[in-house]
Amino acid sequence: MQTRIITLDEFIIQRQNDFPFASGDLSALLRDIGLAAKVINREVNKAGLADILGVHGSQNVHGEEVKKLDVFSNDMMINALRNSGQCSGVASEELEEFIYFTDEHNANAEYVVIMDPLDGSSNIDVNISIGTIFSIYRRVTRSRNCVQEDFLQKGINQVAGGYIIYGSSTMMVYTTGNGVNGFTLDPSIGEFCLSHPNIKIPSKGNIYSINQGYRLKFSEGVNQYIRYCQADIPEKNKKPFPLRYIGSMVADIHRNLIKGGIFMYPAMQGVPNGKLRLMYECNPMAYLVEQAGGKATNGKQRILLLSPEHLHQTSPIFIGSSEMVEMVMKFENEYSG
């Protein structure tokens, strides 16, 4: 018997009823992000044809400027969020400063969105999966326009967090604090359909994901953990773990979310705070992975408890299956102190 399709919109409305005083504003915002994702997906899927359709930064056959995909994605997300009427402003990997919306229909918007509109965009030219990452916070100030304080909140304050992965299929995976659900885009009907209800990351995993090219810059604790993963400390681990590193955070974490595993982008010599951005890479992924039963730390404390100083600050991150994160922390405490 054909199981009933539940679309993203239906799911959001159904779940909204779980929140007795939900005003529906957050639901509308999530639906608008889903809409922007469909438009971005359409362009991402044509990326390989850019040479035929007009190289990015040039003009296409219609005389329109062809934007780089990450700029295009940024514009699509901002347009959707502005039109939603539920978003007071946006901070983006693509923008030095946050922007606020002055349109009348956003005057009472109570949310702000922080996003990486197209993370891993350097992978587009080689057809590797990339993603959009987003965090939604409730405003903490009452001024007409949102201010920096509305954005610089700890990750624990997120009301929603998630990503869209543009891969062999396009999926939207998000949480509003009641578990994690995944929706796969069915191009034949143009709808995200519930395909992965109530995702739980396996507590034990054996996939480790780290850019070992930087081995000489890692701490002793991280390198000892890598030896453990490689069964190079026989008394502790008999079988080597498979190394998988795509170089696209959304793709590496999505795989681990489904199969179990750990993703690490640690502090390195010369890069004491790592590379990945706290507000729009680490926090949304940490919120989602914790909601799926995993862990996310900067090596000293939960990512979600870090107090942000500025929008684009970076943080080391160890994220994934709880037992694997606990294990690398044991090595860090033993060897890196």
Query: Residue numbers of the site for ligand P6P (CB under 6 A)?
Result: 119-120, 122, 211, 247-249, 275
Q: Output 138 or 217, the one with its CB closest to ligand P6P.
A: 217
- Report whether 149 contacts 141 (CB < 8 A): yes
CA–CA gap between residue 97 and residue 114 (Å, rounded): 11
195 exposure class (CB count in 10 Å sphere: 0-12, 13-18, 19+): middle
Question: Please, what is the minimum distance in Å from the beta carbon of residue 69 to ligand P6P?
Answer: 13
Q: In the complex, what is the shortest distance from the CB of residue 168 to ligand P6P, in angstroms, rounded to a whole number?
A: 18
Say how far apart CA 172 and CA 95 lie, in whole Å: 23
**Closer CB to ligand P6P, 29 or 286, in the complex:** 286
User: Based on CB atoms, which residue is closest to ligand P6P, 141 or 273?
Assistant: 273
Distance from C-alpha of 36 to C-alpha of 232, rounded to nearest angstrom: 46
Question: Which amino acid appears at position 322 of this protein?
Answer: S
Question: CB of 162: closest distance to ligand P6P in angstroms?
Answer: 15
C-alpha pair distances (Å), 54 with each of 51, 60, 65, 73: 5, 5, 9, 17
Q: Which residues pair with 317 in a beta bridge?
A: 265
CB of 120 to ligand P6P, least distance (A): 4
| Residue whose entry in the numeric block shows the structure tokens 């000489």 | 216
Comparison of 245 and 335: residue with beta carbon closer to ligand P6P: 245
Distance in Å, CB of 233 to ligand P6P, minimum? 25
152/264 with CB nearer ligand P6P: 264
Q: Which residue number, 31 or 277, has a Cβ lying nearer to ligand P6P?
A: 277
Task: Give the number of other CB atoms < 10 A from CB of residue 3.
Answer: 6
Nearer to ligand P6P, 248 or 321 (CB): 248
In the complex, least distance from residue 109 CB atom to ligand P6P, rounded to whole angstroms: 29
Which residues lie closer than 8 Å to 328 by C-beta, 6 or more apart? 221, 222, 225, 262, 264, 318
Tell me which residue has its CB nearest to ligand P6P: 249
Answer for the pair 184, 195: CB distance below 8 angstroms, yes or no: yes
To ligand P6P, the closest distance from the beta carbon of 280 in angstroms equals 10
